[in-house]
Amino acid sequence: MSVSSEEDNNLYQQLQHQLQRIALTAPITTQGTTCIPSFAGSMPQLAPPLKTKRKQVKNACVNCQKACKRCDDGRPCQRCIKYGLTETCKNSIRKERKKGIKRGPYKRRTQIKDQDDKYTTSTSSVSSEVFTVPASYGQIGELPVNPLPINLPSISSQIFGTQLSTLDSGEKFILIPQSSGGTSYYVLMPVQQQNQISILPTRICASKDLTTDLDQDIQVKIESEFQSGVSDGLLLEEDSKFAVNKEENYEIIPNKEKEKKDKSNLSVLSLVCSGLLNQETDTYEQANKEMDGNSSQDEDNESLKSNISDIPVSQNLVNNEKQQVSEYNKKNQILDSVKNKIVKENLEESLKAHNTPGDSVKNTTHVEPRVYSWDYHSPSFQTPSVESPLLFSTPANTYPVAQAQYVPIKCESNIYDMKCTRQQNEEFQLLQHGDSFSQNQIPMRQQYYEISPFTPSHTNPSNAYMVQQNQTSSFYQFRGQQLPPQFTPTSLSFAFSPRISNKSTPQSQIRCYAGLSVSSNGLEDSS
């Protein structure tokens, strides 16, 4: 590391000294709150917290919208379930965005340049005061929850973006100017060496958001530093674009990112972000693994609850399905008529083919397998709530019924177990089927519910959603109509309502729907 001027050198020494003090004195931070260290002799002050970015749904339901309250992707949403507004819980209608709005010239770069000028002019008044970091700030060498903010006297802009290290070179940081709530301060963003990316805070989402926010500012800042030509010896710039080559003077950049090395600080920040993103992805993958595998039953309810709420991928899966079903009632009527028509037509065709001489040859030569995929009734789960976040991770609408004895639907919720004691006579109901099944018929094993295929004896076929297989001729019935033999149910989804006898926990009642796709294997099968 080299410094270009004595003044900056002094400042740099101060920073290094400060970093070492941080290393020596700072215990672990308290999550969630950050504070701006003050100068020596004054009390540490609470800083504007490095807020986590607020997540919001794409489309709140009409009720939540009206109440200005948090909504979720489920329909009905948790809030509507809580307040019994499930009937009216529908997506609000979004206005179409205006088009043709003229935009003025971009302003951002100008603003940043102004800021840079401000920083640069303040260089001459660098205070020699020793600044301290309150002891609540995280310890170097440990994973800090947040980047370390330190409040400094005026600092040369030349230091921004520079990798700083403690005197023992144990830790490296990038100094980043920050402003929040009208208060300016600086953040020391820890940068790990070698193949490691920046130190990843434990609270990924929050920190990722922070980093993302920082990233933009930093990039602009560094970029403007470069462009304004003030990047003397302090900057780690190696990018030929800026015609500054001081590689030998600078601290290392993570080896892993050699190909991006020339991006210097920008790349470090980029790494920080990508690292966070990767880790987040890992979290997602891990969550999905948990969903796919046999989720450990050993987890206590609280941790499971927490896990469930942290499974965005699976939740999305479910939520997507939930959204689909909100249109079910509408779709159903239309599709019913279409389906009936198709079935009728195919029956007629099938009959015609049978009765026409030479058709067998025709069929084998000209047959074009037709696929009728009636995504007719997407599975849905009406009422997962905060208290009862049932997640069905098995894509039930793709389960091959013909080959399976059971349709396993994985239930990730232990809330059910928490809230309701399992009763011997607990019932599960296949709502579409209109039939109830005892626990014996729908055995509940750990976190899996298994639903046996229907049998004709249990139901009135005319109301059956479920395909009914005839042992001898292998045909299927669908909503009371016999499907032509060439039709094979290729996928089936259905779900059920764990009907809980405990009336005091109506939110535990989950209602799901069935879906069925049918495909034609081609007319040659009809012979």
- Which of 64, 235 has the CB closer to DNA? 64
| Binder of DNA out of 30, 42, 53, 306 (CB under 7 A) | 53
Question: N- to C-terminal Cα distance for the chain?
Answer: 83
Contact call for residues 65 and 71 (beta carbons, < 8 A): yes
- Interface pattern 412-451 for DNA (x via CB under 7 A): ----------------------------------------
Distance CA 482, CA 462 (A): 10
83 contacts DNA (rule: CB under 7 A): yes
255-284 residues in contact with DNA (CB under 7 A) are none
| Binder of DNA out of 67, 204, 313, 402 (CB under 7 A) | 67
Distance CA 6, CA 473 (A): 94
Q: Is the dihedral of CA 459, 462, 468, 471 positive or negative?
A: positive
123-152 residues in contact with DNA (CB under 7 A) are none
Nearest distance, CB of residue 79 and DNA, angstroms:
8
- Contacts within 8 Å (CB) and 24+ apart, 38-47: 38/131, 38/132, 38/134, 38/151, 39/127, 39/129, 39/130, 39/131, 39/132, 39/151, 39/153, 40/129, 40/130, 40/131, 40/132, 44/134, 44/136, 47/149, 47/180, 47/183, 47/185
Tokens of 523: 């007319």
Nearest distance, CB of residue 324 and DNA, angstroms:
18
330 contacts DNA (rule: CB under 7 A): no
Element (H, E) at 518: strand 515-520
- Which of 99, 503 has the CB closer to DNA? 99
Distance CA 245, CA 236 (A): 9
366 contacts DNA (rule: CB under 7 A): no
| Binder of DNA out of 15, 36, 71, 430 (CB under 7 A) | 71
Nearest distance, CB of residue 92 and DNA, angstroms:
5
Nearest distance, CB of residue 268 and DNA, angstroms:
17
455 contacts DNA (rule: CB under 7 A): no
Nearest distance, CB of residue 50 and DNA, angstroms:
11
Nearest distance, CB of residue 147 and DNA, angstroms:
17
336-365 residues in contact with DNA (CB under 7 A) are none
Distance CA 111, CA 106 (A): 10
56 contacts DNA (rule: CB under 7 A): yes
Nearest distance, CB of residue 26 and DNA, angstroms:
27
- Helices then strands, counting H and E runs in the chain, come out as 11, 16
Q: Is 52 helix (H, G, I), strand (E, B) or coil?
A: coil
Nearest CA among 346, 289, 343 for reference residue 314: 289
**What CA–CA distances, in Å, run from 335 to 72, 91, 375, 379, 478?**
28, 22, 9, 15, 13
212-251 residues in contact with DNA (CB under 7 A) are 216, 220
85-104 residues in contact with DNA (CB under 7 A) are 92-95, 97-104
Nearest distance, CB of residue 354 and DNA, angstroms:
52
Interface with DNA: number of residues (CB under 7 A): 38
Scanning 63-71, 312-320, 422-430, 504-512 for contacts with DNA by CB under 7 A, the matching segment is 63-71
Residues that bind DNA (CB under 7 A): 51, 53-60, 64-71, 82-83, 92-95, 97-109, 216, 220
